[in-house]
A = this chain, B = another copy of it.
Amino acid sequence: MNNHDLLIYNTLTRTKQKFVPLQPGHVGMYVCGPTVYGDAHLGHARPAVTFDLVFRYLKHLGYKVRYVRNITDVGHLEHDADEGEDKIAKKARLEQLEPMEVAQHYTNRFNDAMKKLNVLPPSIEPHATGHIIEQEQLVQQIFDAGYAYESNGSVYFDVEKYNKDHHYGILSGRNLDDVRDASRELDGVGEKRNQADFALWKKAQPEHIMRWPSPWGDGFPGWHCECTAMGRKYLGDTFDIHGGGLDLIFPHHECEIAQAVAAQGKQMVRYWMHNNMITINGKKMGKSYNNFITLDEFFTGSHPLLQLLHSPGALSQHRRLLERGAASLGKRPRTPYGGHQAAGTHRAAGCRHHRERVCRKAHRRLLRRARRRL
């Protein structure tokens, strides 16, 4: 084992921390994988590539790594707030297929794309539908601990109650009032006691194909359950690293933490790692925003954006660079980067450079770069 210290930026503590594994020489890592109801796009590839690097680097350091990346094939509803149809069931309905045919098709396509990106397969790739019993056990534990209630055949997590004993928002930095305010925009409270509560188990309506028996009647698990249940099953009640995209911090990972703490009285994850988003023109790439480039389009270059020499995003970025560079040398500072020189201050203005000389040089470079590009 190499003795170099590995520092990890832990989203939970908002600091870089020295990585010390729970079991010397071993690392357990869980990363949220794709919901398999459509072709993966660049945004889906980013966490896979990011944590592939982490996986490889940990192995390079000599650790024996058990890397779990799940396949979500049930429970992910159209809207995060437990509303709407199951994403895979909807696709299956539209294509007149068995939901598992849809899930299998897109799982295969995802794995093929990962291979093309030279992303290593994880050690275990568990499916949400393959762990219904484990999810029911988790719900039962939360129920027994008093942090869940049944309502019309569904089971919800009692966020208000949990927040009295623990801290709901520990990862995302939100407090319950924010969550309540954000939630109010949605549909009426319905079955939930409070709008911030989230589903642990949803009752299956008669038309639902994906359904399993449970102590609360036929239904299916809430989206957040699978990762907590499968993480614990394959990595233990406490494990080293949990990863995923920044967009999953709330509600998904926040709910995972609440579920684990409610069920077992202690945190499940020691280091939370998040990758940033792929953006198009400053907006997160997402299926729901319809601004995505699929991996197939990426491999073949067949997306219109990939056929431009400069994407519109790049052009506006270059213009910004030019303005910033000009401002940094001119009399009329427009940005903090350029502004601090005229003001005579330096770090106080938010400049990232330590010495003014470096700073001036850097700004001149910016200007040259920007001119060349326009």
Contacts and interface: CB of A to CB of B under 8 A. Distances in A.
A70 to B, nearest CB: 12
B101 A123 contact: yes
Contacts of A213: 133, 137
Total copies of this chain within the assembly: 2
Interface residues of A, number: 23
Nearest to A104: B124
A212 B133 contact: yes
Contacts of A121: 104, 108
B133 A101 contact: no
A343 to B, nearest CB: 59
A303 interface: no
Nearest to A67: B101
A46 interface: no
Nearest to A126: B100
Given A104-B121, A127-B127, A98 B133 contact: no
A98 B235 CA distance: 9
24 contacts: A66-B98, A66-B101, A98-B123, A98-B124, A98-B234, A100-B124, A100-B126, A100-B234, A101-B123, A101-B124, A104-B121, A104-B122, A104-B125, A105-B123, A108-B121, A127-B127, A127-B130, A129-B130, A130-B130, A130-B131, A132-B133, A133-B212, A133-B213, A137-B213
